[in-house]
Structure 1
Amino acid sequence: MTDGSETTLDLTLDEARDEAAELAERITAAREAYYGRNAAHVDDRTYDAWMTRLEEIERLHPQVQGQDSPTLSVGAAQSSELAPVTHAERMLSLDNVFSPEELTAWCEKTRAAAGREVHWLTEVKIDGLALSLRYEHGRLVSAATRGDGRVGEDVTTNAVRLDGIPRRLEGEG
């Protein structure tokens, strides 16, 4: 893998393929440690740099992106101890920005995609567990982790014990 000083435009297809494979391996190992064993072995800045570099390589050399690329998923594969739950809608992750210019570009891209002015609410991001809660007729019937974004783990029996998760919802809708 290059040290990142070589621009992606300078990479041959073989170099791009090799670097993308190495980055994918590092990112996957970091995700498994963080999500699967709750033991981060790289800091956020390093992880984000790897992901940014891989995204750049795949954008300029799309043929190197495999179906299992870390850029196509979030989280990690589910454990075999809990029942899998396929999400009705894919659970995504937050995008990162590292400069005011990147934030401005992201805001402009979002406005363009919405086709109208966008109103913003910002909140502090606290690392934790993302859950998908499903209610039927106002009653909690399923709680699942994000997993890889498509399939998570059924944690309903644990979720009903948490004070912040209502078992029933009031109202219409």
Structure 2
Amino acid sequence: MGFTIQMEQLVMDKEKLSYRRLIGRFATGVAVIVGESDGDVIGMTVNSLTSVSLDPLLLLFCAKNESRTADRILSSTRFSVNILRRDQQNVSRRFAGKADVEMKACAREDGFAWVDGANAVFLCEVEHVYPGGDHKIIVGRVVSMNGPDDVDEPLVFFDGRYTALQTLNLEYSVA
């Protein structure tokens, strides 16, 4: 009986690893979700960011169910979404828990904290939280947004690592 359970677990783990490897072939931008909790700046790096609605302005990101950072952000009811520039890998790593970066990289005002110099910043209030398997789907209502006039190259994540875009002369249409 125990051997059967172990084999089922190995098959399931192999399936999860295969899923992560294959879904990682979808290139994404990198964003940092930043909030304030008990006077501290807290945050997490995500690549599960998507626009939801233009009326009202809504976006979403996903966080692991067991994420204490996500719980602290949700309890504060407001957060910022920061779309990172290619040269902000250190910020991404810091909020992924893999490096130290000085917190002076973050600005604060009116109960919001955000990454200074990001390609785009969206100040949000928590609108909804939905279950999504082993993750929470967090929907935020955008209450303010800002970004520089001249955009820098984005930080991109592909196949488990940071990478850069290559500019090509392709024909395209504006949707």
Kindly name which structure, 1 or 2, has the bigger radius of gyration based on alpha carbons.
1
**TM-score by structure 1 length?**
0.25
TM-score of the pair, normalised by structure 2: 0.25
More strand by proportion, 1 or 2? 2
Query: By percentage of residues, which structure has more helix?
Result: 1
